């Protein structure tokens, strides 16, 4: 027999093994140490394998050949006898449930309404994992949240409102959304009596979801002008009374604030990352309310000078911390600088020159506005710096107002709807500063005015962009656009769409980025430069 370098040989149906292996397996065998022995294989001619390598160790290649030979013989026998050969792919969840039809939605918490109408929530369950699919949600929130009926019901309510808001024909609250809202309230009333630690965080989450959706719910009382509270129809659709929506939000806000205080007393946020991560996104949305977004009066006002220090404990802990500014979050209202005297960091992910020019001009204008509004009245301002800001505003604001639209043919910006959305927001902010009017007042002052066209054009431009990816590496630009749109659209039929976009962006910034300054600083900047109510 001739052996190759791998220790395998071709012979006449026998197996060569090491002496030690046979001796241990056959105590009565009398074999000369170190002399290879052959063990015949059944079935006549075949392969011989050597399990002992040249250095006396185990020959793994030989073992692999035995396994391959056995598999070939097995398949050969089955083909000869006509037996079916089952092949299964590995690492597929279906292998676990081989022979059965598994419904993934049945593994999630089942609500009472599903017992009467099976599958009624399948679309909403699919959407909730599509919209709230951020890194932190997948790694921390969902593994526990999908086992909690109350938490999951609150998230389903958010998902259902999101689906209703995406209706291009106009916002209408679906019966399923109303049922989910009532179910969330029922579960909170039941769990809040137990006073268990896990139930407290479940109730906090569900009530926060109810509060977030309060301003976009249906109501029997409607109004287009909150100052008079009369029933009004705008653009063919009824618009919710802002006063009633605010009252409902305040009720929910007070309820989860009491529970959050109790959770702090029990040190739940120090011990559980799940609880702390839930608190993060609740805090981001709550800070927006303190920044008068989408309207004033929803929460006590916040001090921009101390806000970061005040909420640092929420975003900095043993699980995550801010190490550097994220370029993806840069926008005219957040440039990543810690020291205002430093040069602004560049927009590394903006490649279109016309968009870069617009953003740089708007950044100069915003910084000039902030210097004018954040300097106390009793502090002497350098005359040269004040004159510079005046020159900047007088020069750049008219240029921003006359930037070409993406609808104009034959230009580099033609068809660039990311640029178009940013341009419309920039125009709205400049006009608001010049007229000293709120964004939403300016955007809804009359059906025939240009500014109403801006509001509708902004939604049109946003729908033309890739909202599925939240503008990818330029999510900071979308966050800025969404914050302004969220305020400008409040009280109109465009608000549910703006609300859904704002909430999703808040989740993305909270659970996909550690640069929490990029979530808070844009809101603080816009609060300081928006007109007083």
Name the average pLDDT for the chain: 80
Both structure tokens of 482: 């969404």
The per-residue pLDDT for range 294-321, each reduced to its tens digit, is: 988 899 999 999 999 999 999 999 999 9
pLDDT attached to residue 11? 41
pLDDT band at 38 (very low <50, low <70, confident <90, very high): very low
Long-range contacts of 183-190 (CB under 8 A, 24+ apart): 183/111, 183/112, 183/113, 183/153, 184/150, 184/153, 184/154, 184/157, 184/209, 184/210, 185/210, 187/149, 187/150, 187/153, 188/150
What is the pTM assigned to this prediction? Answer: 0.76
In this structure, what token pair is assigned to residue 444? 């809804």
With b for 16 or more beta-carbon neighbours within 10 A and e for fewer, the 219-238 pattern comes to eeebbbebeeeeeeebeeeb
Whether the pLDDT of residue 74 is over 70: the answer is yes
Whether 2 shows a pLDDT value over 50: the answer reads no
**Looking at residue 50, what is its pLDDT?**
53
DSSP codes, 13-43:
SEEEE-HHHHHHH-TT----TT--EEEEPTT
What value does the mean pLDDT take over residues 92-105? 48
User: In which band, very low, low, confident or very high, does the pLDDT at 60 lie, cut at 50, 70 and 90?
Assistant: low
- Residues recorded for the chain: 533
Predicted confidence at residue 197, as pLDDT, reads: 83
Residue 85 confidence (pLDDT) above 60 = no
Q: Where residue 31 falls among pLDDT bands split at 50, 70, 90?
A: very low
CA–CA separation, 505 and 478 (whole Å): 8
User: Taking the CB of residue 290, how many other CB atoms lie within 10 A of it?
Assistant: 17
**Residue 257: pLDDT over 50:** yes
Given a cut of 80, whether residue 381 has pLDDT beyond it is: no
> Which residue has better confidence, 139 or 17?
139
**Average confidence (pLDDT) over 273-290:** 96
Q: Is 475:441 a contact under the CB 8 Å cutoff?
A: no
The 8-class DSSP code of residue 237 comes to: E
Give tens-digit pLDDT for 201-244: 999 999 999 999 998 855 433 333 333 333 333 223 333 445 56
Residue written as token pair 């309060």? 214
pLDDT digits (tens, 9 = 90+) for 324-372: 999 999 999 999 888 777 777 789 999 999 999 999 999 999 999 999 8
């Amino acid at each position: 027999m001739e052996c190759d370098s791998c220790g395998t040989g071709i012979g006449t149906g026998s197996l060569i093994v090491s002496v030690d292996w046979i001796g241990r397996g056959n105590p009565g065998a009398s074999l000369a140490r170190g002399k290879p022995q052959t063990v015949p294989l059944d079935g006549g001619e075949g392969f011989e394998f050597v399990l002992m390598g040249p250095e006396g160790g185990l020959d793994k290649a030989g073992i692999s050949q035995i396994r391959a030979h056995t598999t070939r013989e097995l398949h050969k026998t089955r083909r000869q006898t006509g037996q079916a050969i089952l092949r299964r792919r590995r690492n597929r969840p279906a292998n676990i449930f081989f022979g059965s039809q598994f419904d993934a939605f049945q593994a999630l918490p089942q609500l009472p309404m599903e017992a009467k109408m099976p599958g009624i929530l399948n679309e909403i369950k699919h959407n909730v994992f599509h919209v709230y699919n951020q890194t932190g949600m997948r790694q921390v929130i969902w593994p526990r949240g999908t086992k909690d009926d109350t938490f999951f019901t609150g998230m389903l309510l958010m998902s259902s409102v999101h689906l209703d808001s995406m209706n291009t024909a106009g916002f209408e609250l679906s019966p399923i959304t109303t049922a989910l809202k009532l179910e969330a309230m029922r579960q909170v009333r039941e769990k809040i009596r137990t006073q268990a630690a896990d139930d407290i965080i479940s109730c906090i989450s569900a009530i926060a979801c109810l509060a977030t959706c309060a301003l976009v719910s249906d109501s029997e009382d409607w109004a287009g002008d909150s100052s008079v509270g009369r029933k009004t129809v705008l653009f063919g659709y009824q618009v919710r009374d802002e006063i009633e929506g605010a009252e409902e939000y305040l009720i929910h806000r007070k309820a989860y604030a009491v529970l959050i205080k109790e959770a702090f007393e029990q040190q739940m946020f120090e011990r559980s990352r799940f609880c702390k991560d839930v608190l993060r996104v609740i805090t981001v949305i709550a800070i927006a309310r303190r920044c008068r977004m989408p309207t004033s009066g929803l929460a006590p006002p916040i001090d921009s000078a101390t806000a970061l220090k005040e909420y640092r404990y929420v975003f900095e802990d043993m699980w995550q911390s801010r190490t550097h500014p994220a370029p993806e979050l840069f926008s005219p209202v957040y440039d990543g600088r810690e020291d205002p005297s430093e040069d602004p960091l560049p927009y590394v992910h903006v490649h279109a020159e016309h968009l870069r020019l617009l953003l740089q001009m708007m950044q100069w204008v915003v910084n000039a506005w902030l210097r004018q509004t954040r300097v106390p009245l009793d502090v002497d301002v350098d005359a040269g710096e004040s004159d510079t800001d005046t020159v900047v505003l007088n020069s750049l604001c008219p240029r921003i107002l006359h930037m070409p639209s993406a609808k104009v043919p034959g230009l580099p910006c033609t068809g660039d709807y990311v640029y178009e959305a940013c341009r419309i927001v920039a125009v709205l902010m400049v006009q608001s500063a010049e007229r000293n009017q709120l964004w939403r007042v300016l955007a809804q002052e009359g059906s025939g005015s240009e500014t109403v066209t801006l509001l509708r054009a902004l939604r049109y431009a946003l729908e033309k962009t890739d909202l599925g990816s939240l503008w990818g590496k330029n999510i900071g630009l979308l966050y800025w656009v969404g914050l302004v749109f969220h305020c400008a659209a409040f009280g109109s039929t465009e608000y549910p769409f703006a609300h859904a976009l704002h909430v999703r962006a808040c989740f993305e910034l909270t659970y996909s980025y550690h640069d929490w300054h990029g979530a808070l600083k844009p809101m603080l900047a816009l609060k300081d430069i928006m007109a007083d109510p």
